[in-house]
Amino acid sequence: MDIKQYVSDKAKKAKAASRALANCSTEIKNNALFKMAAGLEKESGMLIAENKKDLVAAGQKGLSKAMIDRLTLDADRIKAMADGLREVAALPDPVGEVTRMWRRPNGMQIGKMRVPIGLIGIIYESRPNVTADSAALCLKSGNGVLLRGGSEAVHSNTAIANILSGAGAEAGIPEGAVSFIENPDRACVMEMLKLNGVVDLIIPRGGEGLIRMVSENSTIPVIKHDKGVCHVYVDCKADAAMAGEICFNAKVQRPGTCNAMETMLVHKDLGASFLPAMLDRFMKAGVEIRGCAKTKTFVPAVKAATDKDWDTEYNDLVLNVKVVDSMDDAMEHIALHGSQHSEAIVTDDYAKALRFQREVDASAVFVNASTRLNDGFEFGLGAEIGISTTRIHARGPMGLEELTSTKFIVFGNGQIRK
């Protein structure tokens, strides 16, 4: 098989379809999403059978238990995937919204209209539900999508993609608008990344290795969904009970996520009053603590943090703790070690709250709330394709609006350039 030709043909067909899709009505797109949801539920048995093939191969390859769990499809997960499609159907269509319109001295009326980006390439790993989620978000926002899942889920993904494109065709979605690259050869990814002028945007969803590989090799714009080294700073003016709840939630509620806290920064005045009880609570919940020298003076039992620890995303029940002299020290630590993902302060001090929020650089800056709330659903944006850590186009939770671009629309009556 000529990989270059195969990928390029798929992409060009998807691009042509994306042009027609850009002008599809909301009704057609929603109808397609409902048919896709129904199709997934109807073919539940077939999907589980195809998934089984991936699971057997995963067992033979010796994939970790956590990875096998992520890979597994059952009736409940298929139902959840279908419900996800229906939720996207229920969201407002972003395409065609005119976000602003104004008049110029020469009488021209100018507006900015949301339009689809074009053809979006999604490169992802492991979880087969990403196939359905990504396709739904791209479809609703009027974008063609070229999906490329991990080889470990190829049977599951192919089966899901076939159901989606079949249901889409029935609903009148242009053929190829939802395309999937079934060939598991890694060379396909490299070809995708070079299709300038055909693929308009690449979104990698997966581990650090995948994201680095994509950024380094793509000649197409990439929006990354990268790691988070997130902090909560507990100020001397914090409500101790609130700080306790927020820090515990930020670390323990789901430690494997990018918006979980990796380092707790505590003002030195709270070293005796707050720190021992807080660390005790963490340790009882199974959290391993790695502290700075000052932390050890207050709670001698903790392990000493190494230089590398302050820059590490554990994705696990491990927490760095640092005692700081002031909010400025905390902000300095965040600037040096943070990943500009999710940062929080707990304080009752009005001026400090506003200053922290203004000066700290992150996709979301929280006052008196948990970093775990940095999420499209929690923010009220609806379903999200991830939390962007790229600094242009979209930063933070990336939903339907962030999957659009804009064009200027100009209504004149004979204006020319002087």
With CB under 8 A as the contact rule, the residue among 138, 223, 323, 398 that binds a copy of itself is 223
With CB under 8 A as the contact rule, the residue among 80, 101, 335, 351 that binds a copy of itself is 335
Q: Least Å distance between CB 280 and a copy of itself?
A: 19
At 332, list the tokens: 């300095």
- Under DSSP, the state recorded for 96 is T
**Contact residues for 139 (Cβ-Cβ < 8 A; gap 6+):** 21, 29, 32, 33, 88, 145, 168, 173, 177, 178
Q: Is 1 in the site for a copy of itself (CB under 8 A)?
A: no
Is residue 133 within 8 Å of 84, Cβ to Cβ? yes
With CB under 8 A as the contact rule, the residue among 42, 101, 172, 253 that binds a copy of itself is 253
Residue labelled with tokens 């714009």: 221
C-alpha span between 397 and 405 (Å, rounded):
16
With CB under 8 A as the contact rule, the residue among 84, 118, 291, 399 that binds a copy of itself is 118
With CB under 8 A as the contact rule, the residue among 81, 369, 398, 400 that binds a copy of itself is 369
Q: Which is nearer to a copy of itself, 197 or 300 (CB)?
A: 197
With CB under 8 A as the contact rule, the residue among 134, 141, 295, 370 that binds a copy of itself is 370
User: Nearest 10 degrees: CA dihedral of 112, 118, 123, 128?
Assistant: 90
Binding mask 79-98 for a copy of itself (x = CB under 8 A): -----------------x--
Beta-bridge mates of residue 265 = 233, 322
C-alpha span between 264 and 70 (Å, rounded):
29
Q: Least Å distance between CB 83 and a copy of itself?
A: 19
**Contact residues for 377 (Cβ-Cβ < 8 A; gap 6+):** 383, 384
C-alpha span between 269 and 93 (Å, rounded):
51
Name residue 213's amino acid.
Answer: M
Q: Which is nearer to a copy of itself, 5 or 415 (CB)?
A: 415
Q: Which is nearer to a copy of itself, 4 or 61 (CB)?
A: 4
Name residue 78's amino acid.
Answer: I
Of 176, 166, 128, the C-alpha closest to 149 is 128
C-alpha span between 161 and 149 (Å, rounded):
10
With CB under 8 A as the contact rule, the residue among 57, 110, 210, 317 that binds a copy of itself is 110
Footprint (CB under 8 A) of a copy of itself, residues 377-406: 378-380, 390-393, 395-397, 405-406
Q: Least Å distance between CB 106 and a copy of itself?
A: 8
Q: Which is nearer to a copy of itself, 153 or 330 (CB)?
A: 330
Q: Least Å distance between CB 123 and a copy of itself?
A: 16
Footprint (CB under 8 A) of a copy of itself, residues 271-310: none
Helix (H) or strand (E) holding 373: none
Cα distances (angstroms) measured from residue 41 to each of 35, 38, 46, 128, 323:
10, 5, 10, 15, 52
**Contact residues for 394 (Cβ-Cβ < 8 A; gap 6+):** 223, 388, 402
Binding mask 230-249 for a copy of itself (x = CB under 8 A): ---------x--x--xx--x
Q: Which is nearer to a copy of itself, 65 or 417 (CB)?
A: 417
Which stretches of 67-161 are assigned E, i.e. beta strand?
98-103, 109-116, 119-124, 144-148
With CB under 8 A as the contact rule, the residue among 108, 240, 317, 318 that binds a copy of itself is 108
Q: Least Å distance between CB 355 and a copy of itself?
A: 9
Of 401, 387, 338, 396, the C-alpha closest to 363 is 396
Q: Least Å distance between CB 257 and a copy of itself?
A: 9
Binding mask 173-212 for a copy of itself (x = CB under 8 A): -----------------------x---xx-----------
Stretch that binds a copy of itself, among 71-79, 127-135, 144-152, 350-358 (CB under 8 A): 350-358
Q: Least Å distance between CB 126 and a copy of itself?
A: 23
C-alpha span between 258 and 280 (Å, rounded):
24
Residues contributing to the site for a copy of itself (CB under 8 A): 19, 22-23, 96, 102, 104, 108, 110, 115, 117-118, 196, 200-201, 215-216, 219, 221-223, 239, 242, 245-246, 249-250, 253-254, 335, 353, 357-359, 361-370, 372-375, 378-380, 390-393, 395-397, 405-417
